[in-house]
Amino acid sequence: MSSEQQAVARARKAFETGRSKSLEHRIRQLKNLQRLFTERQKEISDAIKKDLNKSEVGTQLYETLGLEGEISLAIKKLKEWAAPRTVEKNLLTLSDTVYIKPEPLGVVLIIGAWNYPWAVTIQPLIGAIAAGNAAVIKPSEVCVHTAKVMEDLLPVYIDKELYPVVTGGVSETQELLRQRFDHIFYTGNSMVGKLIMEAAAKHLTPVTLELGGKSPCYIDKNCDISVACRRVAWGKYTNCGQTCIAPDYILCEPSIQDQVIEEVKKSIKEFYTDNPKTCPDYGRIINQRHFKRIMTMLDDSTIAVGGDNDESDCYIAPTVLRDVKPEAKVMQEEIFGPLLPILSVSGLDEAIKFINKGEKPLALYVFTPNDKVIKRMVDETSSGGLLANDCLVHYSVSSLPFGGVGNSGMGCYHGKFSFDQLSHQRSCLIKKLNMEGVNSMRYPPHTPKKLGWARFFILNNVDLGWIGRMALLAVLAVVAAVVLQNYLL
């Protein structure tokens, strides 16, 4: 038996003990996970510095701070989320107990990504723990140092049988995917997402796929272009552009292209100094393979800002490309790097048409002071999320579901959405062995009169107060007696 099989078997065996279902156990595990981020921040930050050149403050700001907030929310709300949920009744179920009971799915596989290795791996783990599941955690092997820290630290703080960490590369992931899980949660690209879904289909395992795509950014000529470009530059160049919801490209009218370029250039200097290579807040491309992939995208486009690079350091400067054509290399796939193409459109109509010709993106950004422009973007396009007049920050709102649509993914998480995504919403109807007369309408022989009574009872939902329910129950008792006596014939 492989180490991956053993990890899954241990998690399954631990889940079958039932201990993960206890709310007290879930809260204790979440508190332990929270303690990890306060006690071992230095080790977390040092590893991410080696992997992505993120500063310690940047690591807390973009990786662990949000996780601490998610854990606090889950601890605070868990009893409410896990409680049975009452539902509306019809006349046939008026005297019954009808509710939805969230219950654990079982053993969840969580496959993390390398660009925000803690944030996108631990966020779904929080949901898995809160929902009462066991979870096998597979951090991305691309972040070598961070994967090792996860492997070392997570078993110290949380139940190592219920939540084992499996490290390794493609072969280890493939071996995991051959095992049977109750849910698979993957963050990454659409190409691998298809392989995950194919593997899951063999066991009819449901999946959550958090993918990406080319997230458009439309800048209206009537907005405050200076502020808009400052926010776009922050959203684009954070983590060296390696963010799944980074603005992938700008759409704007030709008349403002030069101003957009100048304002983005100013913001680059403000954020990262005249020499971003020496700035502690500017990251690096994860490895040389991705460096070469990104540099190839520059072949047929005109550089307006930046372009400096150093393969030995995996450094690519914040770069702006002007007059980019739709058929350019940089427009054929998600960039996932610090290149910002600008494409000219004649206005809002053409921008919407261009966006709708492509795959549905994970995020869509629009900068405008005009509510009508925003409304048209909301009404006439489709994307995982839409944000007006800012970038990225919708990810931090726990009350909003985060996820893609179409090619950018399926399923969503954050806050209660994580809990619900990794729970089974079990339908429960508790009846008593009385009022059998009402049931006569469903028993053969079937007659038009029985059908008439069935229509009355099934098609009428009720929303009554306590007194109304008591009165209606009395009436139904009488009806049941009459029905029983006459057999509805």
Q: pTM of this prediction?
A: 0.92
Residue 409 forms part of a structural domain:
no
What value does the mean pLDDT take over residues 451-475? 68
In the chain, how many domains are there?
3
Query: 245 and 120 share a domain?
Result: no
pLDDT the model gives residue 105: 98
Flag whether pLDDT at 377 surpasses 80.
yes
Binning pLDDT at 50, 70 and 90, where does residue 122 land?
very high
Claim to verify: residue 246 and residue 205 sit in the same structural domain? no
Residue 430 included in any domain: no
**pLDDT tops 60 at residue 366:** yes
CATH of the domain at 163: 3.40.605.10
Q: For residues 253 and 396, state if they share a domain.
A: yes
> Distance between CA atoms of 358 and 410, rounded to whole angstroms?
17
Question: Are both 34 and 150 inside the same structural domain?
Answer: yes
Residue 3 has pLDDT above 60, yes or no: yes
Average pLDDT estimate for 478-485: 54
pLDDT at 479 over 70: no
Is the bond preceding 445 in cis, omega lying within 30 degrees of 0?
Answer: yes
Q: Catalytic site residue 210?
A: yes
Over range 72-97, report the average pLDDT.
Answer: 93
Catalytic one of 4, 70, 210, 263: 210
Mean pLDDT of the 178-190 span: 97
Pair 293, 207 in one domain:
no
Residue 468: the pLDDT is 55
Q: What is the mean pLDDT of residues 256-277?
A: 98
Q: Do both 145 and 199 map to the same domain?
A: yes
Give me the mean pLDDT over the 461-480 stretch: 57
Q: Is residue 43 included in any domain, yes or no?
A: yes
244 in active site:
yes
For 325-337, how does the pLDDT look when each residue is reduced to its tens digit (9 = 90+)? 999 999 999 999 9
Clarify whether residues 194 and 147 are in a common domain. Answer: yes
In a domain, 432, yes or no: no
The mean-pLDDT minimum among 127-131, 161-165, 196-200, 447-451 falls in: 447-451
- Residue 144 domain-assigned? yes
Question: Do 184 and 88 share a domain, yes or no?
Answer: yes
Give me the catalytic one of 244, 252, 391, 412: 244
* Owning domain of residue 319: 216-402
- With a cut of 70, say whether residue 222 has pLDDT above it: yes
Q: How confident is the model at residue 478 (pLDDT cuts 50, 70, 90)?
A: low
Mean pLDDT, the chain, rounded, equals: 94
pLDDT of residue 92: 82
Residues 233 and 160 in one domain: no
Residue 408 lies in a domain: no
- Residue 409 β-bridge partners: 210
pLDDT category, 488, cuts 50, 70, 90? Answer: very low
- CATH number of the domain where residue 263 is located: 3.40.309.10
Judgement on whether residues 375 and 349 belong to the same structural domain of the protein: yes
**Which range (41-45, 335-339, 455-459) has the least confidence?**
455-459
* Tens digit of each residue's pLDDT (9 = 90 or more) over 404-448: 999 999 999 999 999 999 999 999 999 999 888 888 888 999 999
Residue 179 domain-assigned (yes or no): yes
Residues 338 and 476 placed together within one structural domain of the fold = no
Query: Is 171 inside a domain boundary?
Result: yes
Statement to judge: residues 225 and 338 lie in one domain:
yes
Would the pLDDT of 237 be above 90? yes
* Res 258 pLDDT > 90: yes
